[in-house]
Chains A and B, each alone.
Chain A
Amino acid sequence: MKAVNAVTTSWPGLQVDRPTFSAVAESELDAVHRYLLFLTGNRTVAEDLTGETFEKAFRIWRRFDPRRGSPRAWLCGIARTTALDHFRSEERRRRREERYARDLPDAEESALGPGELETALGRLSAAEREVVALRVLLELDGPTAARVLGISTTACSTRLSRALKRLEEMMHDARN
């Protein structure tokens, strides 16, 4: 997706057309939200993390180099780190509170909706959901998605294929 606005950085020797932050935020907001929704499986958490992601991106925007990757991939990397931090703090909180119900399935409805597909998605692991989000919904190519996930391109493709096969099987079982 092309950014609407662009500026030329004034740093000597690094004259490159960078999109403005506000343009990038406007164009990539839904994509980042979609990714976090799939990754966390929780709408409320995804909304919070989306805001945090863009706040973090706002603070370190000057480090973004468009020559090294797209804004979408860059934001997804930040979103993933933000989500992992959230998972860590949640884990610490649960341990502190000694909630035995940690392993029990969450009683609230699926974050994505009541449908069969949403239910099937909820049964995938977070790792499987995030690769589906990156490759299918955000349409990142294999190498870019692999870089965001910190795995090899082959591993990314394998994970995607496995996730989609599981989804298809679950959908098939649900229909039958």
Chain B
Amino acid sequence: MPATDVDFEREFEELVRDLRVLPTAAPTGVRERVRTLGEPERPRTLHDLLLMFSWRRSLLVLAPVCVLGLVSAAVIHGVLNSGGDSQQTASARQQLDLQAQPEHGGAVGSTTTPAFGALKGAPAAPSLPTPTPGRYQDYEASLTVRVKNVDALHDRTAEATRLARTYGGYVASVDESTNGGSGRSDLVLRIPVNRVEDAYFRLAQLGTVTEQHLSIRDLDQVVRAQRRRIVQLKVQIARIGETLKSSSLPADVRLRLELQRDAAKQELAQVTGSNKATLREASLSRISLTLTSQKAAPTAKGGMSRIERAARDAGSFLAGAGAVLLFVLIVLSPLIVLAMAWILGMRAYRRREERRLLSAA
């Protein structure tokens, strides 16, 4: 049984007493040598503090501090991201898909712009991608605006039709219906493309925008192709006409040429009509406006409160941080294992060497 602090003093009382009276004081020479050292003058440096640092103890402190810091960052991240636009209604969703693509599968792909900037106040003017000047584009937009009540619905509908005329456009269709305390009004407005942006902003100010969609389709290549075809057909018709003036043509050749000329004329009329329609489409934008007096639907059961969203976002943040940490750990684990093996090996070697030295001494 190993001796404790008190036990060995009691168990080996006489021996301990004898040991303590052995003459083991340092001789005078050594004393003088130590006295001449004096007092160190250099103050502590950062290097000294680092050398004094207990890394084991600091790990015990750092680990919970790091965990706490990570959790705090996750909570802050969750709270900041869950706020959203508090001025919109709970069911408000804004989507903006910007598609710029030629009609016949050109090289330009579709691009999606981010949702409109947060609407501040109700109603507000969202920022719109504007039509590109000098190009033929099919500009289509849809807007859903909520108004206060049925009375306001009727007034806003009238105002929307007036706005269309003010901007040089017209109302393609209006469909207004009311049912008890709620109502809905669907309008299709054709507004000149060069004034669509202003018109859109004014229409958005009729109430609270709850949904919007924008589509831009480039028609430039279509128009060019149509014009090229028109020129080709006119040239073909003119050539056939010149050939037919000759009197020496055989009857069958003449007949074939006449049929070709007729077909070309027919096609010319067709393409010319298409071109006019395309130009008309490009000159006027289409805005589908829906005015509704219905209140926003209450948050569905599956919907989340802000706290729940914050918790979800915080959880995602922690999951992401955990994934990164795990990845780093996996990558560094062989090095860590090697380092630990080296440290343990060095420690064991040093102990063995000490035992050997002390046993040989």
- Closest residue of chain B to A55 (Cβ to Cβ) is B37
Given contacts A34-B24, A164-B12, contact A9 B44 (CB under 8 A): yes
Interface residues on A, range: 35 or more
B180 within 8 A of A: no
Interface-forming stretch among B1-9, B106-114, B252-260? B1-9
- Chain A residues near B54 (CB-CB < 8 A): 68
Assess whether B26 is in contact with A142, with CB atoms less than 8 Å apart: no
In the complex, which residues 97-123 of chain A have their Cβ closer than 8 Å to any Cβ of chain B?
Answer: 112-113, 117-118
Given contacts A25-B34, A47-B29, contact A91 B360 (CB under 8 A): yes
Interface residues on B, range: 35 or more
- Chain B residues near A118 (CB-CB < 8 A): 22
Given contacts A51-B30, A58-B37, contact A141 B5 (CB under 8 A): yes
With A and B bound together, what is the CA distance between A58 and B2 in angstroms? 37
- Chain B residues near A47 (CB-CB < 8 A): 26-27, 29-30
Neighbour of A87 across the interface among B34, B52, B357, CB < 8 A: B357
A93 within 8 A of B: no
With A and B bound together, what is the CA distance between A14 and B48 in angstroms? 13
B35 within 8 A of A: yes
With A and B bound together, what is the CA distance between A141 and B5 in angstroms? 7
- Closest residue of chain B to A47 (Cβ to Cβ) is B30
Assess whether A41 is in contact with B361, with CB atoms less than 8 Å apart: yes
* Distance to closest chain A CB from B57 (angstroms): 10
A8 within 8 A of B: no
B40 within 8 A of A: yes
- Closest residue of chain B to A9 (Cβ to Cβ) is B44
* Distance to closest chain A CB from B334 (angstroms): 29
With A and B bound together, what is the CA distance between A10 and B43 in angstroms? 8
- Chain A residues near B353 (CB-CB < 8 A): 88
A157 within 8 A of B: yes
- Chain B residues near A30 (CB-CB < 8 A): 24-26
B239 within 8 A of A: no
In the complex, which residues 113-141 of chain A have their Cβ closer than 8 Å to any Cβ of chain B?
Answer: 113, 117-118, 125-127, 130, 132, 135-137, 141
With A and B bound together, what is the CA distance between A40 and B360 in angstroms? 10
- Closest residue of chain A to B355 (Cβ to Cβ) is A127
Assess whether B26 is in contact with A50, with CB atoms less than 8 Å apart: yes
- Chain B residues near A32 (CB-CB < 8 A): 26
Over the window 30-54 of chain A, the binary record of Cβ atoms lying under 8 Å from chain B Cβ atoms (1 yes, 0 no) is: 1011100111110000010011001
Assess whether B38 is in contact with A22, with CB atoms less than 8 Å apart: yes
Interface-forming stretch among B13-21, B67-75, B157-165, B182-190? B13-21
Assess whether A21 is in contact with B37, with CB atoms less than 8 Å apart: yes
With A and B bound together, what is the CA distance between A35 and B3 in angstroms? 20
Assess whether B43 is in contact with A29, with CB atoms less than 8 Å apart: no
A154 within 8 A of B: yes
- Chain B residues near A25 (CB-CB < 8 A): 34-35, 37
- Chain B residues near A91 (CB-CB < 8 A): 357, 360
- Closest residue of chain B to A151 (Cβ to Cβ) is B351
- Closest residue of chain B to A142 (Cβ to Cβ) is B5
With A and B bound together, what is the CA distance between A154 and B11 in angstroms? 17
- Closest residue of chain A to B44 (Cβ to Cβ) is A62
Assess whether B3 is in contact with A29, with CB atoms less than 8 Å apart: no
B104 within 8 A of A: no
Neighbour of A113 across the interface among B19, B23, B40, B52, CB < 8 A: B23
B49 within 8 A of A: yes
Assess whether A11 is in contact with B43, with CB atoms less than 8 Å apart: yes
Assess whether A126 is in contact with B358, with CB atoms less than 8 Å apart: yes
* Distance to closest chain A CB from B74 (angstroms): 31
A70 within 8 A of B: no
Assess whether B358 is in contact with A168, with CB atoms less than 8 Å apart: no
**Which B residues fall within an 8 A CB radius of A?**
1-5, 8, 11-12, 15-16, 18-20, 22-27, 29-31, 33-35, 37-40, 42-45, 48-49, 51-52, 54, 351, 353-355, 357-361
Can you give 19 contacting A-B residue pairs, CB < 8 Å? A11-B44, A22-B35, A29-B30, A34-B25, A50-B30, A51-B33, A62-B48, A84-B354, A91-B360, A126-B361, A137-B19, A142-B4, A160-B2, A160-B3, A160-B8, A161-B8, A164-B8, A164-B12, A167-B12
Instruction: Beyond the given A29-B30, A63-B52, A84-B354, please list 18 additional residue pairs across the A-B interface where CB-CB is below 8 A.
Output: A21-B37, A21-B38, A22-B35, A25-B35, A34-B25, A47-B30, A50-B34, A60-B48, A62-B42, A62-B48, A87-B361, A88-B353, A112-B24, A118-B22, A142-B4, A142-B5, A157-B3, A167-B12
Q: Enumerate the 9 nearest inter-chain pairs by beta-carbon distance, A residue then B residue, closest first.
A: A157-B2, A33-B26, A126-B361, A34-B24, A87-B357, A126-B358, A161-B3, A127-B358, A62-B44
